[in-house]
Every structure is written in structure tokens, then in C-alpha cells.
Structure 1
Amino acid sequence: MLAFLWAHEHQSFSAAARANDLSPSAISKLVTRLENRLCVRLFQRGTRTLTLTEEGAVYLRSARAVMDAMAEADSLAEAFPATLSGTLRIHTMATFAKHQIIPWLPGFLADNPGLSVMIDVGAQYVDQFDQGLDIAIHSGVLPDSSRVARRIGETNWITCAAPSYLQYRGYPEKPEDLLQHDCYHFAFDSPWNTWGYEYQGETTTVPVRPRSTFTQGDLLRAIALNGGGIVRLADFHIGDDLKAGRLVPVLEDYRSRIAQPIYLVYPDRKNLSPRIKAFISAIEKRIVEHPWSL
């Protein structure tokens, strides 16, 4: 349609091509394709100029109306607010939200007063993008899907306890010693309950017998901080406790060096909402400036 309008404006394929950085044959082919689709001839081709046919004159009015409407639609983008607005919907693990999002979220919202954030938490990744979800943040292996998974970091799982517990019960020297200690893990079926270790290239899994189980990682952290026993938690969750000495890692010689990836998942790579782009930029900046790994 544009090629048709350009050809009419310049009265020749060659002039229209020069004005729009195309070849004359490209303009001619586009107009011919349009004529074939409409099953009418739009121009009488002369040796030097083009003349509209009667059908071409009718089509010209409609084509101009269409292009004016497109220009008006494009101009609406100029009216979009420069600041972020609306609601950003996020699903992630409760501990990740508490320890890796909440600390910087007030500042992010203060910089974007028109934006609100709704965070839904759950241990398992669930595809809820068809229900309006914007972003999911989860660790481990994600199911195959058409969604975009962007790796934003990685986490190690640390076996640890409070100094008071270790002073009272002693340090486990090898993974099998955990069977003689008070251990705690999650109350639901999860790979997080598999306490795996590695030594000199060999891996082993300890079938710990938990004294109690909990549905929230923060409850596991709390019982460990209170000297209740040994837990195994992600370093993005307990990194500050380890740095401050409130929790002490054990069996470090046996810890697997294979880190678990953390993914930020969103529905499509193209035409991302400004809200999603701003959040991705903010969380990646936060992770660089405040790494949780020891």
C-alpha cells in the first residue's frame, strides 16, 4: 500500500524508489502484487509517468484513510506515560521474596510511584502466565515450555547449624554422621529434601530422618537459629546468617560444587512490558551489588 502511495505521489516507480531507498523493480513488484491481490489494475503504465485508473483513484482514497489511521495509532505511543504504571505480578519462593526482593522493593516503588507489585509465593514453579502473571522466579530444573527463562544467578545448598547446637552435639565429620543428629527438612515432596554430598569425585545421598518437617524454609531457618539442629538451606536464604556467624556450615569438604541455577521466567521475549524490563534491570543490579554466595 505504501509503495502504491509513493508511486502515485512521485508519478513513477523510479522516482518513488529513489525517494525511499528502494530499487524501481522493488516498487514495481510491490504494486503488481497489490494489483494481483485486488484483481484490478491501479495504474496505467506510460513511458515516463503513471496514471491512476478509475479503480486506482477509488483505492487511493481508501489507502490514504488507512495510512492516516495507522499514523494516528502510532502517535498514541507518544501519549503513553514515561513513568511506570500498573501492577507487576510476580510468583516466587517465599524465602527468595523475603530475603532477595523485599529489602530493595521499597526503594524501587519509591522511584516508580505509579507502579504496584503483587507477589504470590509458593515453593513450586507454576505456569500462571495465562492468568495474568508477569514474572516467575524459581530455582532448579524448570519444565520444558515456550516461556523465556533468564538465568539471573545460582545458589548453593548449605548444611548448617547454630554454634550452640554444634557445641552441645559436636560437628558431623562425614555425611553418614547426620543420622545421629537432629535434622529438619521440608514437609512436602521436593528435591530439596535430598541431602546429597560429594567427595573425591564420588557422590552420596544421606537419608536423613527429620525430627520435624516444615512447609516454610523460614521455619527451618528459625529452628536452626534457636539451636534445634541441622538444616540444609539455600545460600540466598541464609547468606547473611552465615556471614554473621549465626549459622555455621558443616561438612564443607563434602558439599557439592554444582550450583543450582535461579531463573527469572516471563512469557515472551518480544515487546516486554516496561514494568517487566524495569524489574529485571533492578533485580540483576541488586544481585551484582549484593551477592549472597560466600
Structure 2
Amino acid sequence: MDNYSQLLAFIWSTECGSFSAAARVHKMTPSAVSKLITRLENRLQVRLFQRGSRVLTLTEEGAAYLRSAKAVVDAMNEADSLAEALPSRVSGTLRLHTMTSFAKHQIVPWLPEFMDLYPALDVEIQLGAQFVDHFEQGLDIAIHSGVLPSSSRIAKRIGETQWLICASPQYLAEHGTPAVPADLLQHRCFNFSFVSPWNKWSFLQDGEGVSVPITARASFTQGDLLRDMALSGAGIVKLADFHIGLDIKAGTLTPLLEAFTTGVVEPVYLLYSDRKHLSPRIRVFIEFFQEKWRQHPWKLS
């Protein structure tokens, strides 16, 4: 930073005509300005001013250096002006990781409106059923539900979801409706193909917790494929209300065993890496979608 101070003192002195005048204008002592110029000349190993007169006169080398020095200061001022605009500029690429089902049903419906508000901002959505910390590789935001691994990331609870057992009216008409949790063992059920608490079908029966050991006839890495199987009338699935809420409201899926629900809800978190220096693209996404999700639009009641 001392090199930049030397450069400024040199420019000020040429503009003001003397070290003392430059010192007065910029609230410094004449000796401080003189020392900065001396250090600059020693560093460059060239004399910039002709000494011996009351008026500062540039040497030939000093005149050449003045042009370069002004170009440096102009570039610094331009960089500072650009930096001052950064906190309010919404541009670049927002990188988001979330569950396929959440992206499809709770982000994509509002994404066109968001993009219209911020036309200079591109959105890249990465999909995966489970949270993986990719913030060091440029990820901006992650949205996931359930119990998250311990980390230093900021986690904002944006809502909660409930997992529902359901099937299509067509399947129930052909195979009957389970009356108690144990009846599920006589039905065709589907699950996720990875190890997950979502594969545990738990209920509350006679005041006690009951877990039914479902044997999945088919399993999938994506909830949307489970939903497709249920909608086709193939069998029974367990999915989140943010995923199948509209299907239940439309009557294309029917919730089952509601009298035996545990009432347990699963939090939905929005994660990002830094609370203090939040970039504009992350801030506007959080504000926009939090407003959309404020009333938990996927809730059935």
C-alpha cells in the first residue's frame, strides 16, 4: 500500500505545484509528502523532479512516469467503482442442488417469474436425493429435507413436510384398501433404492409406534418414478406432501391409513455457506422463494 501512497503523492505534487501545497490540500505534512517522493525515486532509481527551484519541474523521466501513474490511478478508481456496484448487481450464475421432486414441484413452477425479475442471472439446478456438500466446488444453495449431516453451513428452515402412504383409486378398487398397517404386507409396495429413513414405514397404533417391514417389489433412486408407479395403479408408495400434494387434491392419489399417522413432520432446509458476505444472486433467490414457500403451499390443509 506504501507504493500506492508514493504514487499518489507524486501525482498530487505535480498537480499542486509543490510538496507543501500538495500537503495542505490532502491534509498531510510537507515532510510526509517529501519522504514519499524520496522513497518513490529511490525505488525507481530515477529522479522525478528537478530540485533547486520553488516551482516543481518534472524531469524527462518524471513526465513519462506521470502518464503511467495517472493510468494506474484511473484503473484503481474504475475498479473501486465496479466494486461499489457489486452488492446490488444481480448477475452471473446461481448454482443450486436439491431433490428432483422438490425442484419439479416447488421450484420450477415459480422459476419463470424469478428469471423475469432478474434477466441477467442464470440458474443451474443440480439434482440428487441426498445432500452432498459441494460448496467448495462453486455451489451457492442447497435445499434438502430430513436430518442433515453436521457441517459449518448456514441452514435456514423454510418449511416442513409430512410423508404420506398413498395409492391410486384404480389400484385400491382392484386390490382393496388396507385397514391397518399390517395389511400393507399383502400389497405391492415400492420404495427408494438407497439407504434412507424414508424407507421406514412407521405408524402409531393403539398408542404405540409400529414399523411395518415393507418388502419393495421395485425400488428407485428418484421419488418421481415412485409417483409414476403409484399414478399408474401399480401399487402403494410413501412420498412427501410437497411431492404429491396436488395429486391428492386432484384425487389421482388417495392417502391411506391416516388414522395411524405418527404426526411426525420433517424439516425442509435451505443451506448456504456464508451469512456475512451473501452475494446478491443468493440473497435475491432466498428472499423470493422464501416468500413463495411462506404459507407452505404443499400443505393439504
TM class by shorter-chain length? 0.7 to 0.9
Q: In structure 2, which of residues 182, 186, 201 is the aligned counterpart of residue 180 of structure 1?
A: 186
**Is 1:281 the counterpart of 2:293 in the alignment?**
no
**1:255 Cα shift?**
1.2
Q: In structure 1, which of residues 247, 256, 270 is the aligned counterpart of residue 253 of structure 2?
A: 247
Larger Rg: 2
Which range is displaced more, 234-243 or 185-194? 185-194
1:61–1:96 Cα change, 3 Å: farther
1:184, 1:231 within 8 Å by CA — same for their partners in 2? Answer: yes
2:161, 2:266 within 8 Å by CA — same for their partners in 1? Answer: yes
Q: In structure 2, which of residues 226, 233, 238 is the aligned counterpart of residue 227 of structure 1?
A: 233
**Is 1:165 the counterpart of 2:168 in the alignment?**
no
2:191, 2:226 within 8 Å by CA — same for their partners in 1? Answer: yes
Identity %: 57
**1:208 Cα shift?**
0.5
2:87, 2:279 within 8 Å by CA — same for their partners in 1? Answer: no
**1:250 Cα shift?**
0.5
**1:213 Cα shift?**
1.1
**1:147 Cα shift?**
0.5
The amino acid across from 1:195 in the alignment is W
Q: How many residues align?
A: 243
1:71–1:187 Cα change, 3 Å: same
**Is 1:207 the counterpart of 2:207 in the alignment?**
no
**1:215 Cα shift?**
1.6
The amino acid across from 1:286 in the alignment is K
Task: Tell me the equivalent position of 2:197.
Answer: 191
**1:253 Cα shift?**
1.1
Q: In structure 1, which of residues 96, 103, 108 is the aligned counterpart of residue 102 of structure 2?
A: 96
1:109–1:217 Cα change, 3 Å: same
**1:204 Cα shift?**
1.4
**1:77 Cα shift?**
3.7
Where structure 2 has 5 or more consecutive residues not aligned to the other structure, the ranges are 1-27, 40-73
Where structure 1 has 5 or more consecutive residues not aligned to the other structure, the ranges are 1-50, 63-67
Task: Tell me the equivalent position of 2:129.
Answer: 123
1:167–1:61 Cα change, 3 Å: farther
Task: Tell me the equivalent position of 1:105.
Answer: 111
Query: Aligned with 1:210: secondary structure?
Result: coil
Task: Tell me the equivalent position of 1:265.
Answer: 271
Distance in 2 of aligned mates of 1:244 and 1:285:
25
2:105, 2:243 within 8 Å by CA — same for their partners in 1? Answer: yes
Distance in 1 of aligned mates of 2:157 and 2:77:
39
**1:238 Cα shift?**
0.2
2:97, 2:125 within 8 Å by CA — same for their partners in 1? Answer: yes
Q: Residue deviations 1:87-144, cap 9 Å, x none?
A: 0000000000111101110111122111100001001100000000000100001111
**1:288 Cα shift?**
2.6
**1:232 Cα shift?**
0.3
Q: Residue deviations 1:178-228, cap 9 Å, x none?
A: 001110011111111111112354211111011111121111101111111
Distance in 2 of aligned mates of 1:52 and 1:69:
27
Distance in 2 of aligned mates of 1:235 and 1:271:
34
Query: Aligned with 1:284: secondary structure?
Result: helix
**RMSD of aligned residue pairs (Cα, Å):** 2.9
**1:75 Cα shift?**
3.9
Query: Aligned with 1:197: secondary structure?
Result: strand
